[in-house]
């Protein structure tokens, strides 16, 4: 059995233990995002954040592998901060609950400046 097959099989099953690289912090923060095929920005909301990515509520269904330019907005002791990044959609939940109008998705950071990583780390530290 190839090692790739072992890795894939390890992700399934009742006793699957999730292992995250970075700790997640629950947040409710506004985002703006831009799709490559639409020149206008859309808005959504980040539900949790980590140094590796975000969980987002989008007003539209996303596709896994889709790249988005995104801005995350948050306030701190220094006023309103913006973090700009390029993200990739890595998971989507296509099932909306009753009354839900937004799609839950996970994105991972593809390109984010060192300064913005520092801003995110400092913001995350202020939440704990």
Q: Tally the residues of the chain.
A: 128
Q: Is residue 120 pLDDT above 70, yes or no?
A: yes
Residue spans per domain, the chain: 24-127
Other CB atoms within 10 A of residue 64 CB: 11
Q: What is the pLDDT of residue 31?
A: 97
Q: Is residue 54 pLDDT above 90, yes or no?
A: yes
Q: Which of 79, 66, 80 is nearest to 30 (CA)?
A: 80
Q: What is the pLDDT of residue 98?
A: 72
pLDDT in tens, 31-43: 999 987 777 899 9
Residue 19 pLDDT class (50, 70, 90 cuts): low
CB-count burial class (<10 Å; 0-12, 13-18, 19+) for 23: exposed
As its CATH architecture, domain 24-127 has Beta Barrel (2.40)
Q: Is residue 85 pLDDT above 80, yes or no?
A: yes
Integer angstrom CA distances of residue 92 from 3, 88, 96: 26, 11, 11
Structure-block tokens of residue 72? 């995350």
At 114, is the secondary structure helix, strand, or coil? helix
């Amino acid at each position: 059995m190839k090692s790739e097959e072992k890795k894939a099989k390890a992700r399934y099953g009742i006793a699957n233990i999730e292992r995250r690289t970075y700790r997640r912090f629950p947040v409710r923060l506004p985002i703006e995002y831009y799709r490559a095929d639409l020149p206008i920005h859309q808005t959504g909301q980040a539900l949790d954040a980590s140094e590796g990515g975000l969980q987002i509520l989008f007003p539209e269904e996303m596709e896994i592998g889709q790249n988005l330019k995104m801005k995350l907005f948050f306030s701190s002791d220094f006023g309103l901060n913006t973090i700009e990044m390029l993200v990739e959609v890595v998971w989507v939940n296509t099932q909306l609950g009753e009354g839900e109008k937004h799609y839950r998705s996970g994105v991972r950071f593809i390109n984010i400046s060192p300064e913005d990583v520092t801003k995110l780390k400092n913001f995350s530290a202020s939440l704990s």
